[in-house]
Chains A and B, each alone.
Chain A
């Protein structure tokens, strides 16, 4: 064992260790599974995720660091890790039927989903620049492959290449910013960076570093003007991967952004607050207005996810405990409603129908009332209509903005969510108020049914009784930057 590591680290890193072991098992099991038994791999993957969730929950009460201070083990990390595991599980559940239609071999698919999850977990827990970067790369590379997973499908390939090239470009920018931070502070540990940089907030190089880091992360969360890849990639990727990308990758990037800004660069708050204020306004506005004219639902949801990134950025602008709490709440709610909406779309995929055009939803209510009901709940929630969870999330974000004095930001947010309803309701119109095009019916597999049921139930229950989630998020947000080391240094 290298110096500085202890047996205790093995316990603290248990979630990552379990997941890593599990993903290797899935990869090996794929070799020994016949074509007819491939669906067992899906359930094995679910098993791995459940096994990962157990130590996450068990360790959620800690507030310490592991691996010589590279990773934090705290409530904040645990909250996000649970979110990733959940999103990954829903992705796996809605994937099987979709992959069968696409005639793709699922083995390495599940492996890659788990790899991406591992990367996300490192992003949420890392408190060291290099560690965060490695987490980000692990996730990003997995997604590059997953996006292009449908080898015969050219849209999918094109999306993967586009994502890869632009991803590499933005990572270069991010890395440049990180290296500046390192150069100015002489350390890669975020909490030491914070101390070292506390006195030089006027340095122009540091401002440049903040801008570059912000730009690199803004690419990952698909904030305007770094969003252009999102609609193409979301449309081209396999639908379950689009779901995972728009929820998991976004949440992980927000977690990493919070770590970077609040743990490493709190001294620069005036700079990045203003920066993200502008990004938030642009993302909300451009995302929503561009979504209005989309005829392809995946594309529309891509623009809507850009707009949602804008809403969530409001929490960063406030940078108050309530703002961060609201971000956590919103990301969790967003995970359910967004994954659910893509789950319904994945359900519509058939051999001869892509199923992601608005007209493919025509008369869904008459074909599959329950699926249409689920989609109705997700659309209303995304639009922020009470009593769904989406309303609670928005209410909390906007009231956090008001509390922090950003009244106009809240007003712009409210105005945007009013605009957004237009295109969400259009989906409802197609499902409930249009004649169906053809009578062919889609039968959801048990996996899809479970995933959609969970997502619908969560969206409604959190909307009606959000208190437990609020409490959990509040407790988790409090632990950010609260590790003992920082307290002693300040």
Chain B
């Protein structure tokens, strides 16, 4: 058992190596098969490891696999350790399980690429999964950071996969740059944690944290956790660093599914869950997390309402759902946040793959205004997509209902009424824009002009241009199987977390709880584990009872409200986008400013360009490049160029001149320093 964990990330890594070095010589069948098998093997090892983990008593569910001592310097040691505990186990299953289905789906979806490109695609995909598994299984910050950076890099490669498309290359770059900002904060937070606790191991930090009492004012822990949270906003696409995610749609659709559903974006949420004990000590950070999460959820939800690109709507819905998860983390409902992460993985992967099937069938068309009536031609896609939409909308009985309800209830019970209200409004928006998507895509009729615009919409699928709307192909088997399996998952995945109020046992919460507040065997019992944040006091092992007595009726009421909200949202969508479409246009026309602001995503990209991107470019180009570099140094280069053209005199002039300038700069530098000492 102890040496098995390393196999989980190793399988996809081997798949990556095979495809990157031998891929050009392998047929598509072989390279795709290797990639899928690698993921399947990981999943099986993960499942077996999880099964043995569950056999243990709940306070002993931690397994370490130390590969070797990574860094050793005197008393300071960082081992390369993988660790499986309930939280990691759940994540491993999601990453490998959903990841495998996405790999399988890609086999058909990418079949039009040439052999070399096909292998390149699968090599990136495997590498991505491998790094994500390292991130999830890492037992300390340094191992996690390897995965953290790795997924950032791979997402860059995958988003920019069709680099000949300029927008794809730009989107990849944007993802990379934005993520770097988050990573910067993450590293600084990591260094601070190292300084404060003398270790980077998550469990040891949690034990240390258990001895501290929560910070009332803004202290070191608050700063540290806030830095980690900034790192999380980069990876998990929250305000203010969410801008890369919608652009990440430029990648192949399965990549969007992988990034959005199972991996990458969940990293930030997972990281906070992993450090729940630390975050619980910093109520200020927790409030920031909750507020940012809620604001992101609302903002992305409103933008999603008016977008016309099928993948873009889904992208904003991801940002919005991630906001929910952060809200959960911020109010101390760590299990609720992870639960939503887990159910979201199913229905979001399903929705993306479904949208991929639509795009595939329409040869690259992504604009929903050019779609309609597809339910007749694409029945499998239609029904699975509807299940996904019902799940994300929070219709009772499907997985999204349980997890979203858990978050909203916790928020309300914690006294955050305002956050709950915003969350509920967002929930209405979610139901509305998802069913807007369903109705515009699959219902009604396809516009007459749609056939002609289809070919320059996307670019990736150009085969058989002569298909009329009547001869659309539904998903082929390797695409249909993942869709159906994910649809089943979207329905049943929630039943591991049926709340007590409905007579369930909320097993997932009990399962995950030891991960959030690990208790050392030798730790003093009165350490107050799990206390801390005011709102989280009702948390921990005894919370089910507290809920059962005081909260059941409140919870049931809230459940009723959110069910009603979901159905209202769907109803609104059916009025505006199914029965009376002119009403939607009329509304947009009556509120042009609002509509345009939403369509342009609150102009955030433009604001960033004007306030951050351009000034930096200008400083680099004008100040440093034009004066320092071009003025002095570039003079030489130009001089050299002139020399090559035969103008010796010019060079001699610029050459001697510049050497004097250089020497003078050295001399002045010395004078300045000496002068400083004299004056001081």
A-to-B contact residues, CB < 8 Å: 154-155, 158, 161-162, 165-166, 169-170, 173, 204, 207-208, 211-212, 214-215, 219, 225-226, 228-229, 231-232, 235-236, 271, 275, 286, 289-290, 292-293, 322, 325, 373, 380, 385-387, 391-392, 395-396, 398-399, 402-403, 407, 410-411, 414-415, 418, 421-422, 425, 429, 432-435, 465-467, 470-471, 474
Contact = CB atoms under 8 A, between A and B. Distances in A.
Interface centre among B632, B640, B673 (most CB of A within 10 A): B673
B610 interface: no
Contact of A421 (B146, B169, B180, B673): B180
Interface string B638-680: 0010011000000100010011011101101110011001100
Interface string B589-628: 0000000000000000000000000000001110011001
Nearest to B185: A414
Contact of B666 (A170, A292, A380, A414): A170
Given A158-B655, A422-B177, A429-B173, A228 B665 contact: yes
Interface in B139-158: 142, 145-146, 149-150, 153, 156-157
A467 B665 contact: no
A467 B153 contact: no
Given A162-B659, A228-B662, A432-B163, A467 B620 contact: no
Given A158-B636, A325-B73, A418-B180, A215 B669 contact: yes
B73 A470 contact: yes
A392 B191 contact: no
A292 B164 CA distance: 23
B188 interface: yes
A228 B163 contact: no
A178 to B, nearest CB: 14
Interface residues of B, number: 63
Nearest to A229: B662
Contacts of B621: 293
23 contacts: A165-B663, A169-B666, A211-B670, A215-B670, A275-B673, A292-B620, A293-B625, A325-B73, A380-B153, A385-B153, A386-B149, A402-B194, A407-B191, A410-B191, A415-B184, A418-B181, A425-B156, A425-B173, A429-B160, A429-B169, A429-B173, A466-B71, A467-B72
A228 B660 CA distance: 11
Given A208-B677, A433-B160, A293 B620 contact: yes
A166 B658 CA distance: 11
A392 B164 CA distance: 34
A169 B624 contact: no
Contact of B70 (A410, A415, A425, A467): A467
B677 A414 contact: no
B629 interface: yes
A481 B677 CA distance: 28
B633 interface: yes
Nearest to B153: A385
Interface centre among A154, A215, A292, A387 (most CB of B within 10 A): A387
Nearest to A274: B676
Nearest to A155: B640
Contacts of B157: 432
B187 A158 contact: no
Contacts of B172: 433
Contacts of B187: 398, 414
A289 B659 contact: no
Nearest to A471: B72
Nearest to B636: A232
A414 B195 contact: no
Nearest to A225: B669
B176 interface: yes
Nearest to B643: A154
B70 A465 contact: yes
B525 interface: no
A403 B195 CA distance: 7
Nearest to B198: A403
Contacts of B662: 162, 166, 228-229
B189 to A, nearest CB: 10
B183 interface: yes
Contacts of A467: 68-72
A208 B674 contact: yes
Contacts of A219: 666
